[in-house]
Amino acid sequence: MAGGGVTDIVAELREILAEATGRTELAGVGEQVPLFGAGVGLDSLTGTLLLREVHRRFGVDVAGEDLNLDALATLGTLAAFIAEHTA
């Protein structure tokens, strides 16, 4: 998938993230902000909602393919992972 594809995926992930966390300000979160820890504060509840929605919309089972969930480092890494697995 081309670079434009990843940008589109990031935009869609921002929406999903804002929805899963109930925090609308996350609709503008940077592509390289860590999802775990202070920045976004992804936890097991919001993380599960995010992964479920990614599976539903993109057909990519991140947890099934990435044991360490490294794809969840940032929205950028998650988008790249999705692009790679839908290519």
Partner 1 sequence: MMIKCVIWDLDNTMLSGVYLESVPEPPPPDPAMVAAAAELAGRGIIHAIASRNPPEAAQYAEKATGLDFAAIECGWDRKSDAVRRIVADLCVAPDAVAFVDDDLYERAEVSFRVPEALVLSPEDMADAVGWPEFSPPVVTAEARRRGEMYAERRLRQEEARAFGGSRDEFLRYCGTEVSIGVAAPADVPRLHELSMRTHQFNSAGRSLTEAELSALTSSATHRVAAVRLRDRFGDDGLVGGCVIEAAGDGWTVPLLMMSCRATGRGVIEALLAWLARSAAEAGAVTLSVPCLAGPRNVPLRLALAGSGFRAAEGGTPDEPVVTFSRALDGPLPELPDWASAA
Q: What does the binding site for partner 1 look like in residue numbers (CB under 8 A)?
A: 21-23, 36-37, 41-48, 51, 63-65, 67-70, 72
Cα separation, 78 vs 67, in Å, equals 14
CB of 7 to partner 1, least distance (A): 25
Minimum distance from CB of 26 to partner 1 (Å)?
Answer: 10
* Gap between the Cα atoms of 15 and 8, Å rounded: 11
Task: Give me the least distance between CB of 22 and partner 1, in Å please.
Answer: 7
Say how many CA atoms lie within 13 Å of 80 toward its Cβ: 10
The string over 64-73, giving b where at least 16 C-beta atoms fall within 10 Å of a residue's C-beta and e elsewhere, is eeeeebebbb
Q: Closer to partner 1 at the Cβ: 1 or 63?
A: 63
